[in-house]
Amino acid sequence: MNKLRLSWTLLNLWQQGKVDEAVAFYLKLERKETPEMVKGKELHKLNEENLKEARKFIKEFGGLELKKPRVEWKIEMNYNELFDLVGVIDAYDEETKTLYEFKTGKMSAISYLNSHQLGIYSLLLQKENKPVKKIMVIRWDGKKTDWAFKWFYPELIEEAKNFVDSLGPEIYQFFEERGII
């Protein structure tokens, strides 16, 4: 039996009913990018490099200095017999036990706080024995930066697992029936 590799992006596309995009994403097919997406990726890369070199966010993401950052940390975990869970943590400060997620675009930082993405990333960090105390979303809209945060609470992990458990088997069945996995 082949296992499915689930990620936040795949789950989110599926939840939105974007089945073709979810399949294309999973198969790593070329996706059409808007100029805004390209700019967002460029800023994300600059931020990653600055965090690695200076332990500091670029000004677009607030310029905050971190103590012990771990940047673009890819974590994979064996979730169950059907699928593995994988994610890339934008930044995690081991000193403050803070999970950072960077966004660009029109949606405010606070609008991302209720996303299951942050729970999934907290679950992945937990697998690595890295506790999360605080979750920060930092967003640049092209003109200004806004921040939003919440304190970690244990139910966040259960909410993330429920999200994965509700969509994962459906995606697995669809992919298996079509010979994708």
CATH of the domain at 60: 3.90.320.10
The domain in which residue 77 lies consists of 33-163
27 domain-assigned: no
pLDDT given for residue 139 in this prediction:
93
Residue 1 above 80 pLDDT?
no
Q: What percent of the chain has pLDDT over 70?
A: 100
Residue 87 above 80 pLDDT?
yes
56 domain-assigned: yes
Cβ proximity of 85 and 124 under 8 Å = yes
Q: pTM of the entire structure?
A: 0.92
147, exposed or middle or buried, with CB in 10 Å at 0-12, 13-18, 19+? middle
26 domain-assigned: no
157 domain-assigned: yes
Share the mean pLDDT of the chain: 94
Residue 128 above 90 pLDDT?
yes
pLDDT given for residue 2 in this prediction:
87
10 domain-assigned: no
Total of domains in the chain: 1
21 domain-assigned: no
9 domain-assigned: no
Residue 36 above 90 pLDDT?
no
Query: Which of 111, 130, 127, 132 has the alpha carbon at shortest distance from 164?
Result: 127
Q: Residue 105's pLDDT band (boundaries 50, 70, 90)?
A: confident
Residue 120 above 90 pLDDT?
yes
Separation of alpha carbons 129 and 127, rounded Å = 5
Separation of alpha carbons 143 and 165, rounded Å = 38
| Interval 14-41 mean pLDDT | 90
Residue 32 above 90 pLDDT?
no
Query: Which of 2, 1, 5, 12 has the alpha carbon at shortest distance from 167?
Result: 12
11 domain-assigned: no
